[in-house]
Structure 1
Amino acid sequence: MSATPQKNRVPRRVLAAAAGLATVGALVAAMPAGAQERHDHGHGHGHGHGHHKPSRTVDVQLLSFNDLHGNLEPPAGSAGTVNETQADGTVKAIPAGGIEYLASSLRTARKGHPYSITAAGGDMVGASPLLSGLFHDEPTIEALNKIDLDVTSVGNHEFDEGATELARLQNGGCHPVEGCYEKKKFKGADFPYLAANVTNEKTGKPILKPYTVWKKNGVKIGFIGVTLEGTPDIVTANGVKGLKFHDEIETINKYAKELDRQGVKSIVALIHEGGMPASTSYNYDCDSSGAGDGISGPITDIAKGITPKVDALVTGHTHQAYVCTIPDPAGNPRMVTSASSFGKLYTDTTLTYDRRTKDIVRTSVKSAGAKNPKSANHIVSRDQPKANDMTALIARWNALAAPISNRPQGYITADINGRGSTAPEKPLGDLIADAQLEGLAPADKGGAVVAFMNPGGIRADLVHKASGSEGDGVVTYGESFTVQPFTNMMNVVDLTGAQLVAALQQQVSGANEASPKILQISKGLTYTLDMTKTGAARVVTDTIKLNGEAIDPAKSYRVAMNEFLAGGGDGFAALGQGTNKLVGPSDLDVFNAYLAAHSSAAAPLAPPATDRITVIQ
């Protein structure tokens, strides 16, 4: 998902507090690019070799999910629910997710399926809660190995710490700075990360494998993995340094031809880019008005341009749930799926493989006359038994993280929603922006008069009644880290009034016109957003005021923001034009300092009023 990337996920001084967790290890060299055959390991994927003559067609089960973001424990608050439309038309929020339940769901789904593949659509790691993020996502890779993930594409968040760190997650080796956790070498991913459209600027070659081929009993299915071409726009410059990101359609079509020449006729594309369905309910019928009518966004054009050689698309990035049929360039139906985020859903798709043609027999999402759909999303219910090996994994890493994770940072009176708020101005957005302004307002800290926070960088809600041992209303370090896991450094820069106005207009114009990114603003800044208009005109300029005074286009203002925004990230080119930059503490340090200064057990902090942006719909 588009969000603030991180430079170093956890400050070195924080990890130093957990002395004894690590010993120094070496970084394993990057895996060479190229194709690799992926074989079934017999990890509960089913057997059934049999001695009878095989039938012409074989049903291959494709289980898929996307955007896990290191959520090993069940995500809290609204981030941990999925919407389900009931028979009477009402919508019910159902708690879902957690790696213990995802593992159980996948293992149960595989039963009775001799041919089963598990694939993912990117962002397995990055923007992770502290349990995984504190250890540079090694716990998540370990968990994915245990649930028998066969293959995943990279997503934009796989580049949060750069290509070298991504190569370490693939190949293993201890962290080059923090060393080896638990005094043992990290083994790396058992599954291939695919990065077909990400090349080294100097060599022109993919930084990881572009594709892989899964094989069993003569059945061959190729997987091509790509991230969105716009990854550099939503990741810090350090994260994508030395890399080039190429067009998704051209890349997939290129490697589909290559696989076809090798005799691999059945192909699935794993694409870390997505769309927006017309409903937020996971069980919405995307094709109720016609093939592809129920979804919009970048994936629709991508799907229409990908060669018919590709038989199905597993997508992600937008954190939405959908199972849609979008016709390929030849007009044939092709499934396009996404399973929400954070392990709350998984998709079960049936690929009917023809042994004679070596290709998938294409059908619509709901095949004619069939009682069951060919593809459907399923809730990762928390009512089912937990997977014991995942419970043990979480307990082991939690024991290492506990000295840091459980430290109280502040107190709140009620939920303060961030990720879970659908409003342009979010309560937690106001709180974060206020913290940044207060922390950087002193003259020796930068002299900021206003602060901006990008909405995608707010990764969770602050939940009043959270899981764990702490009392209700306590905000622990682990919880504040989950809200702001990137540890971006704060910047204070000079911007003119004209540049401030331009930045506000860029929220709803240019790259952000179709899907606005509304900056969260500190107290004192107010304006009106008229969504009945189009483009930059949605920002009513004569309403923009700072502490009651109109913005002077020629005046210079000191503005606080994280390094991602200060670099022009998320389409805010105007914010990247700042001068006289001062680098301050991390966004997480500023946030925690604000919580400590403004709350106590006797006087907890209430949610802000969210009265800074007046919205006309």
Structure 2
Amino acid sequence: MSPTHSRRRAPRRVVVAALTTAAALATAGALAAANPAQADPSAKQSPTKDLQLLAINDFHGNLEPPAGSSGRVTELQPDGTTANIDAGGVEYLASSLRTARKGHDRSLTVAAGDLVGASPLLSGLFHDEPTVEAMNKLGLDVTGVGNHEFDEGKDELLRLQNGGCHPADGCYAKGRKFKGADYPILSANVLNEKTGKPLLKPYTVQNVKGAKVGFIGVTLKGTPDVVTAEGVKGLKFLDEAETINKYTKELQKQGVHAIVALVHEGGFPASSAYNHDCDAGGSTGLSGPIVDIAKKVSPEVDALVTGHTHNAYVCTIPDPAGHPRLVTSAASFGRLYTELNMQYDPRTDDIVRATVKGSNRVVDRTQAKAADMTKLLNEWQTLAAPVADKPVGYITKDITRNGAVESPLGDLIADAQLAHAKSLDSSAVLALMNPGGIRTDLVYAASGNEGDGVVTYGEGFAVQPFANTVNLKDLTGAQLVTVLKQQVSGSNAAAPKYLQISGGLTYTLDLTKAGADRVVTDSIRLDGKPIDPAATYRVAMNSFLAGGGDGFTELANGTNQLVGSDDLAALVDYLTANSSAAAPYTPTAADRITVVR
């Protein structure tokens, strides 16, 4: 049993913030009907209390404003066009949340996982201690766990919760001891295999001025498929909906009826605009795993705050009883937050479902920065500067990770890994890179004092923060064909994951076909020659892919493995060797894969 968690907030120093555009403040979705179990004829006369939830997800240690496309959101305009808005940065996020809380006596701030992991250098270099400290100052009340919280294994996750200096790196400055998270990190469906118990608390109850709200936190059941084997060693991941329903019953037995699920699994909205009306036309404009989960989660759960897919949505999905319920996500990297407003009925100790309204709000950069966050960032930036500011290469323009199938940055990373592989074994012929391992763009404009076109180590770290190694394996031609087909079949059938490929490998992707047939076997060439199914090819890939990650199970069957240096070192070495101030690197045309639509 988890005790009621009631924390006294420090008095808030409200930062006056400029409001974003009218569209940013427009309500993106609202429930139109109540759960009949809560519909009381006298509800209008009941002394209900206002309750506000502010939610974020997939922050990924983005303390500084994210660069390039990672630092923008798409906003739908009244005339139907779209505009891009620069957004994000913890100094602005703190200001936004503090402004949003004004006038709300009962406000809770929650998150749906992946607050840490895959973080830029300012946080990642210090094992995400800076992000935890920022979340403490931000006033975060509770978060669910995400898959990236397991990037460094369960012991490191426990340290982030409980505090203590890093076992290898120690404390980072004299007099600075890491105290851990002030907020509970919930992991209801993550069990310690030895004990059979949740690794961390499965739920918590927040009592805010008499309103008792229970929060249950789960991550996607498929976490072992998207995290290294070492990261989830000794852990078991259970079904999301079944786990939420189990602890919903436990909360109800304790008299807690207002319940919100924090689910690190998500969906794919019909529009990329954060303020798109997800329920337009009377049908759910959302697809993906969260839809099936939401339809199975107990009607006693009042809302689902979700994440993982880095998309923005506020959608209505019917609960198992057929009653509408909000499911929300605030994109990623602190560019948005979701505001949920509702009424809490003290007679039933429950949220009145019909009153729940939600919208996503932009964390715009026109408002004042939160001074305490600026101070925190300055402290960590001083510690990181000797490493972060070192120039490692030069580029002619932005090198983006954007691309429906192939991207210029994906090409660069694959080429860099092949070059590193060849330095270890001259028989290496190609490299494969998973798109999810590319976290942001390389931006031409200076982010500090280094000058335009200069790539610093910190910028490279933001692109590849996982500390994967570059591994070499032998694959037959038949296995290589299977790997390419796994991009669009098996676990990747619904949401394809297109591998980024090194120069010399080409093929055609026919999107008019279905499943594995979309990869045209006869088109696959290496240096202009057809792939021989019986031949052996020496292939470079990161350690995550080498273990069969992201659904590429055939890569795990490769043989004769050789482990090289880390992938960031490979990228840095390649940029240093292939660019200079006089001859900067020019991005590729990203035309190695021919796409038929």
Return closer, same or farther for 1:533/1:578 CA change in 2, 3 Å cut-off: same
Give the whole-Å Cα distance in 1 for the aligned partners of 2:163 and 2:431. 40
Kindly provide the CA deviation profile for residues 63-117 of structure 1, in whole angstroms up to 9, marking residues without a partner as x.
0010000000000001000000111111100000000000000000001100000
Partner of 1:5: none
CA contact (8 A) 1:334 1:364 kept: no
Q: 2:185 aligns with which of 172, 190, 193?
A: 193
2:508 matches 1:528:
yes
Q: Given the alignment of the two structures, is residue 226 of structure 1 paired with residue 206 of structure 2, yes or no?
A: no
Corresponding position of 2:2: 35
Match of 1:538 among 518, 525, 531: 518
User: Could you tell me which of 375, 395, 405 is aligned with 1:392?
Assistant: 375
Task: Name the structure 1 match of 2:159.
Answer: 168
Partner residue in 1 for 2:416: 435
Q: Find the partner of 1:447 among 427, 449, 456.
A: 427
Is the Cα–Cα contact under 8 Å of residues 36 and 209 in structure 1 kept in the other structure? no
Secondary structure of 2:281's aligned partner: coil
Could you list the per-position Cα deviations for residues 200-242 of structure 1 after superposition, in whole angstroms to 9, with x for gaps in the alignment?
Answer: 0111000000000000332110000000000000000000000
Q: Describe the SS at the equivalent of 1:238.
A: coil
Unaligned runs of 5+ in 1: 1-33, 47-53, 366-373
1:271 match: 263
SS at 1:237 equivalent? coil
1:499–1:574: 8 Å Cα contact kept in structure 2?
yes
Mapped pair 1:346 → 2:337 = yes
SS at match of 1:410: strand
Give CA deviations for 1:437-478 in whole Å, capped at 9, x if unaligned: 111114x43631110000000000000003211100000000
| 1:470 alignment counterpart | 450
One-letter amino acid matched to 1:569: G
Contact persistence 2:342–2:355 (CA under 8 A): no
Q: Which residue of 1 aligns with 2:395?
A: 412
* 1:112 paired to 2:103: yes
- Aligned partners of 2:46 and 2:345 also within 8 Å: no
Matched, 1:549 2:540: no
Whether the 8 Å contact between 1:45 and 1:114 is mirrored in structure 2 is no
| Counterpart residue type for residue 435 of structure 1 | A
Identity %: 67
SS of structure 1 residue aligned to 2:206: strand
CA distance in 1, matches of 2:347, 2:400: 54
How far, CA to CA, are the matches of 2:393 and 2:331 in structure 1? 31
Map of 1:381 onto structure 2: 364
> Aligned partners of 1:176 and 1:445: how far apart in 2?
34
Q: Give the Cα–Cα distance (whole angstroms) in 2 for the partners of residues 227 and 236 of structure 1.
A: 16
Q: Distance in 1 between matches of 2:242 and 2:233?
A: 22
Please report how far the alpha carbon of residue 36 of structure 1 lies from its aligned counterpart in structure 2 after TM superposition.
3.1
2:229 matched to which residue of 1?
A: 237
Matched letter for residue 369 of structure 2:
K
1:600 corresponding residue in structure 2: 580
Q: CA deviation at 1:182?
A: 1.2
The Cα of 1:42 is off from its aligned counterpart by 3.2
Aligned residues: 565
Task: Give the letter for the 2:552 counterpart.
Answer: F
Q: Would you identify which runs of 4 or more consecutive aligned residues in structure 1 move more than 4 Å? A: none
Q: C-alpha displacement at 1:185, in angstroms?
A: 1.5
Match of 1:27 in 2: none
Shift of 1:61: 0.3
Secondary structure in 1 aligned to 2:428?
Answer: coil
The answer to whether the 8 A contact 1:200-1:244 is kept is yes
Q: Report the equivalent of 2:119.
A: 128
**C-alpha distance in 1, partners of 2:322/2:75?**
31
* Cα distance in structure 2, aligned partners of 1:590 and 1:37: 49
Q: 3-state SS of the aligned residue for 1:87?
A: coil
Distance in structure 2 (CA, Å) of the matches to 1:432 and 1:204:
41
Equivalent residue letter for 1:393: L
- Alpha-carbon distance between aligned partners in 2 of 1:159 and 1:540, rounded to the nearest angstrom: 36
Query: What is the aligned partner in structure 1 of residue 42 from structure 2?
Result: none
Matched, 1:332 2:323: yes
TM-score by length of 2: 0.93
Which residue, 501, 518, 527 being the options, matches 2:498? 518
Whole-angstrom CA distance in 2 between matches of 1:345 and 1:456: 21
SS at match of 2:117: coil
**In 1: Cα distance, 2:297 partner to 2:330 partner:** 21
1:391 alignment partner, SS class: helix
SS in structure 2 of the partner of residue 493 of structure 1: strand
RMSD: 1.2
Provide the C-alpha distance between the structure 1 equivalents of 2:7 and 2:50, rounded to a whole number of angstroms: 15
Contact preservation (8 Å) 2:303, 2:326:
yes
